[in-house]
Amino acid sequence: MNSQLISLALVSFVVAIDNALLAGMIVPWTPRQQKSVIITAAGMALGMVQILLAIGVGHLLQQLAFRIGATLMLTWMCARTLAMMPSSARGCSLWGQVWRVLLYTVVGNLDNMIWLGTELKSRYLWLVFFSTATIPLFIVIALFLSAQCERHRWILILGAGMMAWAAAGLILPDLRWHQMAQDLALLVERASAAAVILAIGFLWRWWAAGRATG
């Protein structure tokens, strides 16, 4: 296996773990058996969507409307994640929750989907292989993290921060993990933009809570 394939494999595993963190935040306080069905179905759908996004994301990023729409959606999702409570999934059907997990995971981890696309190098069969092979890893970690979210609310803040970071990546020039030490100015700029978006999420949550109690 050459270095490009190893790089694609490592990125696929990192993306699967990040996907699991986001997915795990959406279904805490859901019965265990129902949660397993939701995560498994979302994981299988996510594998297919990830393949399509990695292949076509370069074209999407050239569209200003896509960048603006995705940034606004990520900011809204950041606020929703910060406000998530045990009652947030009530009234939502099983497949409605599957759709919600899929939407939050794909959009919330869009920057890593872009990263995966840049590592693809036209190795489509390997992309299909790694996207499929990491589904069990996604399911196990998502279920574990979902259980932890029920006990530790700070995980929700971490997930909201991931969405803010992804939104900042759509506004500013792209930054790869291996380039961070070489371009600290861009790293600080992106971190600052993510902090502002996260702050907007907190303000949005505070405003929504005020309206609910008022």
Tens digits of per-residue pLDDT, 100-135? Answer: 888 878 877 777 777 787 777 778 888 899 999 999
Report the number of distinct structural domains present in the chain.
1
Question: Which pLDDT tens digit goes with each residue over 77-101?
Answer: 777 777 664 444 555 677 788 888 8
The confidence score (pLDDT) of residue 87 equals 45
pLDDT per residue as tens digits for the range 43-72? 999 999 888 888 877 677 677 787 788 787
CA distance 78 to 158: 10
Tally the C-alpha atoms within 13 A of residue 206's C-alpha that lie toward its C-beta. Answer: 6
Higher-confidence position of 30 and 84: 30
Residue burial 26-44, b: 16+ Cβ < 10 Å; e: rest: bbbebeeeebbebbbbbbe
d(CA 45, CA 98) in angstroms, rounded, equals 9
Q: How far is CA 38 from CA 11, 23, 49, 130, in A?
A: 25, 10, 16, 21
Q: Which domain holds residue 41?
A: 3-213
Instruction: Name the pTM for this structure.
Output: 0.69
Please give the share of the chain, as a percent, with pLDDT higher than 90: 9
